[in-house]
Structure 1
Amino acid sequence: MTALDSFAPAWQIAEAVKSGTVRAEDVTRDALDRIKSLNPKVNAFTDVTAERALTEARRVDAERDAGKKLGPLAGAPIAAKNLFDIAGVTTRAGSKINRDLPAAAEDAELLKRLHAAGAVLLGALNMGEYAYDFTGENAHDGACRNPHDTTRMAGGSSSGSGSAVAAGLAPLTLGSDTNGSIRVPSSFCGVFGLKPTYGRLTRHGTFPFCDSLDHLGPLARSVRDLALSYDVMQGPDPRDHACADRPADPTFETLTDGVAGIKIARLGGFFSTDGMPEAASAVQSVAKALDTTGTVEVEGVEAGRAAAFIITNCESARLHLPNLKTRPDDFDPDTRDRFLAGALLPASWYIRALQVRHWYRENFAKLFQDVDVLLAPATPFPAPLIGQRTIEIRGEEILTRPNIGLFTQPISAIGLPVCTVPVFNSGMPIAVQVISAPWREDLCLRVAAHLESEGIVAAQPPSHL
């Protein structure tokens, strides 16, 4: 055993490895042992790259023994949603169809950057099929389970990414977020998540879902882990048109600057938590800790969310049309039907949706003329039971799956950066979105770091695993 417990954050592991307090190989062996013991309960990992992980850990130890300067994530175990290319592993993207593809020849660019910083890759993580899912109930690999209650959803589509961090299988994971797929698992599993500005992190080497909405980002046990990994992954990449010329903006060094001078308000109107007691309690706790009483509203949220649905359906359906024609029975029926619906939408709807998104983005931008950071619930409720098809909010029984992203979809539709912070006011966790203007990830991370330092938000170990 190492001197660190199973829930040590990545930054603390790296500091211990660099100081010689622990060996990276021992940390990695502990992580692999924990995966072997607990993954059957939560089903977070689909592929474990044990030999690679041990090789990488030994390399870190050898470099330290040789007196070389180690990277900021030296020896920290990581894992990635299985839509990230991992050399020697087939990029299944949660699907049956992709399993027929050859193994990836090289890692996705973000994994290369994390590797260069000293991180040790443990493997690939469960996810919703082709990332079109909010539940984590994969029809091919089985449902990913919530470590805080294994009868409940982990959230999707980055289900394994949230579950692995919450279960103590990896301190840091990568996910993707098109309509909420980092923030939903963060909320349901009670961990921190960062959805950066659209175009901030390169998507090269990942399987796409919806090009104009896809984001990549980290999930972690601490805000420091989010900022540290985010800074390592930043930088332009001409192979991703959205990330071709954006320079890096370091955030880690700003975490201790506090919240003085940051103007914060709650989002009201569409984002009201009336009839959602757990979400209301979480937002109230965060707002009170930040001494925030102001509420602002934005016009067109419903229209913006509707536009996101149409854009998602149209762009994803076009990508999968060949397989929809030739292999329809190899899709999860729920995913297939959503793709088919998108394939039938007229082009005029897609064009109109793009126009509405632009109008809605302009409306939202006006808020940031007077406010720096906005607070909103991440999900309308904590994790439902696996297989639960309907749920009651605001006195009305509604479909569970499409409404999990009620509050995340209107934010990712316009590419805003968001840090989700977990709150444990009831038996199950739920998160609050800390939202800032485009390219101001530093602000939402500063607010999140302040809340964490004050003990208002935290990623808590499951009580029964």
Structure 2
Amino acid sequence: MSILEGTAAGIAAAVRAGDVTAAAVTEAALLRIERTNPHLNAFTDVTAERARTEAAAVDATIAAGRDPGPLAGVPFAVKNLFDIAGLPTRAGSKINRDRPPAAADGPLIRRLNGAGAVLLGGLNMGEYAYDFTGENAHDGPARNPHDPTRMTGGSSGGSGGAVAAGMVPLALGSDTNGSIRVPSSFCGIFGLKPTYGRLPRTGSFPFVDSFDHLGPFARSVADLAAAYDAMQGPDAGDAACTAWGVEPVATDLAKGTDGLRIAVAGGYFRRGGEAQAYEAVDRCAAALGVSREVEIPEAARARAAAFVISNVEGAALHLDTVRSRADDYDPEVRDRLISGAMIPGTWYVKAQRFRRWFHARMLEVFRDVDVILAPATPVTAPKLGQKTMVLDGVEMLLRPNIGIYTQPISFIGLPVAAVPLHGLGAMPIGVQVIAPPWREDLALRVAHTLEAAGVATAPVAGA
């Protein structure tokens, strides 16, 4: 087995012990990308020389008897909306390729580098993050490693595909309405959408400022937690990150789930999906000994309000560029932005008012439970190019409806660990482990318990 098919923790331990050099790990990863990426289209930019320089620095640190950090020599890559020094920040677009190269890395890249991780490049994504499919009109679609005729999910499709294929053990993505949780579900890997404001978004291209989150993907919960812990901390460049004054908290997976009150989301979250989506939740609940069901009030209205806010804020960001360079947008993205510009201001105000109400109601729910389980996606990965799907006997547009279960949760910024289940069908599918604000540790502890029980697994596709 290639060292890249193991965990980030295993790679770091081997590098720190001198069993393998960071340089050798980097070369193995670059070779795997060279062989695999042409078929999967996960990477848009490979920063090979930078990676070799960073790996050499890790090896030199170890040779000098110093600590290289907890992620010593671990390869990682980032969605191409992150600032990478020397590259234009594409955000999946044609237009942004005309921008000057980024002068510096974004803070999350710097923090992972500081922990010893080695950056291998930028990853494919849906244009301007306004996408659930992973199909990019300019760079081509990211392809699912479990079946290259199927979607990775979006908009962090390259991130999901790169980790699932074993090109890198860690990747970063963004999640506005589900863009970490959907690729995690379709590609069969773990993902973490932290609390809104927990990780700084400085040095990344925005989509919807009041929804945008950044977070990691991995093939083990321990790796997910290690990456998350390495990135925690405020940053003055992101008002959402500094306003809360929340200090970093190290994740302790060993605490397990003893004493946690866990429930399954009922009502809205048991409708509109395929049977496999609910079977995945039920298997997780059974493994945890959970039988309780809770109702999340007005979840359908929360999703509708999330659409309004996303469209309005996204349109406001792009309106001038749409006017001047309309033909350079993916037509589906462009048309959604134009529609957002026509939404009445009163709708936006009502949506924000409802958002405050919904947040208060969810805090009431969390007085009685600590963690909630819900489907991540209503279906497994659809075929590339598929435009519609049939759910509950109704044919509907696929692209906007993949996020029916994720949007009500990111609408109020709750932390979520996405856990993958394999073996329920031909393709994997994910479950959301939802926790109260600032309690990523609870979501990760439940995810770790499911992994330890063999219920949630993330094997390398094709290994």
TM bucket normalised to smaller: over 0.9
* Corresponding residue for residue 54 of structure 2: 56
* Corresponding residue for residue 40 of structure 1: 38
Q: CA deviation at 1:6?
A: 2.5
Instruction: Report % sequence identity.
Output: 59
Q: CA deviation at 1:273?
A: 4.8
Q: CA deviation at 1:278?
A: 1.1
CA distance in 2, matches of 1:160, 1:248: 31
* Corresponding residue for residue 13 of structure 2: 15
CA distance in 1, matches of 2:309, 2:255: 38
> Normalized against structure 2, the TM-score is what?
0.98
Amino acid paired to 2:170: L
* Corresponding residue for residue 227 of structure 2: 229
Are the equivalent residues in 2 in contact too, given 1:273–1:279 (CA < 8 A)?
no
Secondary structure at the counterpart of residue 67 of structure 2: coil
1:35-82 CA distance string (max 9 Å, x none)? 000001100000000000000001000110111112011100000000
* Corresponding residue for residue 401 of structure 1: 399
Amino acid paired to 1:31: A
* Corresponding residue for residue 248 of structure 1: 247
1:312-331 CA distance string (max 9 Å, x none)? 00001011011111000000
Are the equivalent residues in 1 in contact too, given 2:273–2:379 (CA < 8 A)?
no
* Corresponding residue for residue 151 of structure 2: 153
1:24 pairs with 2:19: no
- Which moved further from structure 2: 366-375 or 344-353? 344-353
Amino acid paired to 1:353: A
1:384 pairs with 2:382: yes
Are the equivalent residues in 2 in contact too, given 1:231–1:248 (CA < 8 A)?
no
Q: CA deviation at 1:246?
A: 3.1
* Corresponding residue for residue 462 of structure 1: 461
Amino acid paired to 2:438: W
Q: CA deviation at 1:238?
A: 1.6
Amino acid paired to 2:247: A
Q: CA deviation at 1:166?
A: 0.3
Are the equivalent residues in 2 in contact too, given 1:274–1:280 (CA < 8 A)?
no
Secondary structure at the counterpart of residue 78 of structure 2: strand
* Corresponding residue for residue 448 of structure 2: 449
Q: CA deviation at 1:379?
A: 0.1
Are the equivalent residues in 1 in contact too, given 2:273–2:378 (CA < 8 A)?
no
* Corresponding residue for residue 88 of structure 2: 90
* Corresponding residue for residue 373 of structure 2: 375
Are the equivalent residues in 2 in contact too, given 1:273–1:280 (CA < 8 A)?
no
Amino acid paired to 1:373: V
Are the equivalent residues in 2 in contact too, given 1:417–1:440 (CA < 8 A)?
yes
Amino acid paired to 1:159: G
Distance 1:203 1:274, change over 3 A: closer
- Which moved further from structure 2: 422-431 or 179-188? 422-431
Q: CA deviation at 1:274?
A: 6.8
Secondary structure at the counterpart of residue 352 of structure 1: helix
Q: CA deviation at 1:251?
A: 3.6
CA distance in 1, matches of 2:249, 2:347: 39
CA distance in 2, matches of 1:88, 1:365: 43
* Corresponding residue for residue 168 of structure 1: 166
Q: CA deviation at 1:300?
A: 1.2
Q: CA deviation at 1:237?
A: 1.1
Pairing 1:125-144 to 2, within 5 Å after superposition: 125-144=123-142
CA distance in 2, matches of 1:247, 1:55: 35
- Which moved further from structure 2: 240-249 or 312-321? 240-249
1:435 pairs with 2:434: yes
Q: CA deviation at 1:394?
A: 1.5
Amino acid paired to 1:334: E
1:324 pairs with 2:322: yes
Pairing 1:337-376 to 2, within 5 Å after superposition: 337-376=335-374
Segments of 5+ residues of structure 1 without an aligned counterpart are none
Segments of 5+ residues of structure 2 without an aligned counterpart are none
Q: CA deviation at 1:5?
A: 2.8
Amino acid paired to 1:122: L
Q: CA deviation at 1:120?
A: 0.1
Q: CA deviation at 1:250?
A: 2.7
1:284-311 CA distance string (max 9 Å, x none)? 1100000000101022111111110010
Q: CA deviation at 1:141?
A: 0.2
* Corresponding residue for residue 426 of structure 1: 425
Are the equivalent residues in 2 in contact too, given 1:82–1:92 (CA < 8 A)?
yes
1:337-378 CA distance string (max 9 Å, x none)? 000001111111111110011111111111100000000000
CA distance in 1, matches of 2:50, 2:428: 34
> Normalized against structure 1, the TM-score is what?
0.98
Are the equivalent residues in 2 in contact too, given 1:200–1:246 (CA < 8 A)?
no
* Corresponding residue for residue 108 of structure 2: 110
CA distance in 2, matches of 1:331, 1:4: 40
CA distance in 2, matches of 1:418, 1:299: 18
Amino acid paired to 1:432: V
Secondary structure at the counterpart of residue 16 of structure 2: helix
Amino acid paired to 1:443: L
Secondary structure at the counterpart of residue 137 of structure 1: coil
